[in-house]
Homo-oligomer: A and B are copies of this chain.
């Protein structure tokens, strides 16, 4: 007899079925015992009245893997209206050592550090696994949107010979006796690949040796990177970002509806046109001095509230960040060269995406580096490609963990990351 998954039980009422999963909980009453089995799709209730089976059940600690054969029986009070009666229960391994927290309670009561120390079991809690299901669906939506728009998926090196974006915050390693660094982003590679495919994306790990410990930074995170050529300016990039975000959220709603319900979350609407304000206007809205070169977290929060209030939008573009605060490959606004064709997208008052138009002429790169007093040498291999014909282009990068955290209302990105890496954490 084939094993069925718990969410298919209602299809088998009256039949003998086989299920398998983990002992989620046991409730041992005087005349009856309930065994709750958890599998990938949910929970199944098993009713035990036979004394021998009950004696077996008493030995099956929580998290023991078991197989149950019994009759699928209607019962309005059971999960999904079906329970398993007259069961035989067989362990598929030795009795489990229970984890240091109860997985059957509605929320995990253990502190986040304890959960992270015991991630392999903590992630079994429905709230923790639900966030990872949301994450998987979001990435599927990201790819689907871009595949439909003729983007090609690429895989780029994660070990590079020089720090890719700045000298700071890189992890150094020994590459067959030569110094090397973990890539902080696929920025340069995705730009180079615009020369090949015009439109590319990559989903992969990036590494930041962040020396500070915050709720929104990880030392390894998953970056959703996009780059496209033949743009007029950054606004063409923003259109692709808007459509990609909408697809991500639609796919989360479609594929991870159960996970959203577990988390009590609804996906926000993405307006056909996400509101956009210029950086200088953003300072005014946020009540910041007109000469501030960047937006502080408090300013971002104020802008998020403004977007919600004035436009009914959870998302807000801030365009035209000052060139001084953007990386050297940023394209300036031709009309106001102190400002850039770079943008951020705020999601409920938190920076979620950074993007913009990039320089595409070799001479402009040389001038930009010289103006910053930076040497050309570390970028030589990258810059060389711009001598061989590159179209106007731009792109963006979405931090996956930050997106999911904001979407599900998690205060710390570590809550939505399976095995986070940071200043203090290198295990499990």
- What is the 8 Å Cβ interface bit string for chain A, positions 388-412, against chain B (1 contact, 0 not)? 1111100000001000000000000
CB <8 Å contact, B176 and A173: no
Given known contacts A174-B171, A381-B428, A418-B154, is B391 in contact with A65 (CB within 8 Å)? yes
CB <8 Å contact, B419 and A157: yes
CB <8 Å contact, A426 and B161: yes
Q: Is A258 located at the chain interface by the 8 A CB criterion?
A: no
Q: Is A158 located at the chain interface by the 8 A CB criterion?
A: yes
User: Which B residues touch A64, using CB under 8 A?
Assistant: 389
- What is the 8 Å Cβ interface bit string for chain A, positions 129-164, against chain B (1 contact, 0 not)? 100110110011001000100101111111111000
Minimal beta-carbon separation of A327 from chain B (angstroms): 19
A196 touches which one: B41, B129, B150, B360 (CB < 8 A)?
B129
User: Which B residues touch A384, using CB under 8 A?
Assistant: 120, 428
User: Which B residues touch A174, using CB under 8 A?
Assistant: 171-173
CB <8 Å contact, B154 and A132: yes
- What is the 8 Å Cβ interface bit string for chain A, positions 193-210, against chain B (1 contact, 0 not)? 101111100011101010
CB <8 Å contact, B94 and A363: yes
Q: Is A182 located at the chain interface by the 8 A CB criterion?
A: yes
Instruction: State in angstroms the CA–CA spacing of A41 and B220 once bound together.
Output: 35
Instruction: State in angstroms the CA–CA spacing of A388 and B160 once bound together.
Output: 39
CB <8 Å contact, B40 and A197: yes
Q: Is A3 located at the chain interface by the 8 A CB criterion?
A: yes
Q: Is A97 located at the chain interface by the 8 A CB criterion?
A: yes
A93 touches which one: B93, B154, B381, B390 (CB < 8 A)?
B390
Q: Is A277 located at the chain interface by the 8 A CB criterion?
A: no
- What is the 8 Å Cβ interface bit string for chain A, positions 352-386, against chain B (1 contact, 0 not)? 00000000111100000000000000000110110
Main secondary structure of the interface of A (DSSP, over half): mixed
Minimal beta-carbon separation of A7 from chain B (angstroms): 10
Minimal beta-carbon separation of A137 from chain B (angstroms): 9
Instruction: State in angstroms the CA–CA spacing of A384 and B155 once bound together.
Output: 33
Minimal beta-carbon separation of A367 from chain B (angstroms): 13
Instruction: State in angstroms the CA–CA spacing of A428 and B183 once bound together.
Output: 13
Instruction: State in angstroms the CA–CA spacing of A180 and B424 once bound together.
Output: 12
Closest to A144 in B: B140
A65 touches which one: B121, B158, B389, B423 (CB < 8 A)?
B389
CB <8 Å contact, B124 and A196: yes
Q: Copy number of this protein in the oligomer?
A: 2
CB <8 Å contact, B40 and A198: yes
Q: Is A123 located at the chain interface by the 8 A CB criterion?
A: yes
CB <8 Å contact, A390 and B136: no
Instruction: State in angstroms the CA–CA spacing of A132 and B222 once bound together.
Output: 22
User: Which B residues touch A98, using CB under 8 A?
Assistant: 388
CB <8 Å contact, B418 and A189: yes
Minimal beta-carbon separation of A255 from chain B (angstroms): 8
CB <8 Å contact, B387 and A159: no
User: Which B residues touch A143, using CB under 8 A?
Assistant: 140, 143
Instruction: State in angstroms the CA–CA spacing of A176 and B423 once bound together.
Output: 6
Q: Is A63 located at the chain interface by the 8 A CB criterion?
A: yes
Closest to A147 in B: B140
CB <8 Å contact, A96 and B193: no
CB <8 Å contact, A390 and B152: no
User: Which B residues touch A3, using CB under 8 A?
Assistant: 230
- What is the 8 Å Cβ interface bit string for chain A, positions 28-44, against chain B (1 contact, 0 not)? 00000000000111000
User: Which B residues touch A20, using CB under 8 A?
Assistant: 230, 391
User: Which B residues touch A147, using CB under 8 A?
Assistant: 140
CB <8 Å contact, A123 and B391: no
Q: Is A427 located at the chain interface by the 8 A CB criterion?
A: yes
Minimal beta-carbon separation of A104 from chain B (angstroms): 13
Q: Is A421 located at the chain interface by the 8 A CB criterion?
A: yes
Q: Is A178 located at the chain interface by the 8 A CB criterion?
A: yes
Q: Is A99 located at the chain interface by the 8 A CB criterion?
A: yes
Besides A155-B418, A160-B426, 20 more A-B contacts (Cβ < 8 Å) are A20-B391, A23-B389, A63-B389, A65-B391, A96-B388, A129-B196, A136-B152, A139-B153, A140-B153, A143-B143, A157-B419, A158-B158, A159-B171, A172-B174, A173-B174, A175-B426, A178-B426, A180-B426, A193-B418, A384-B428
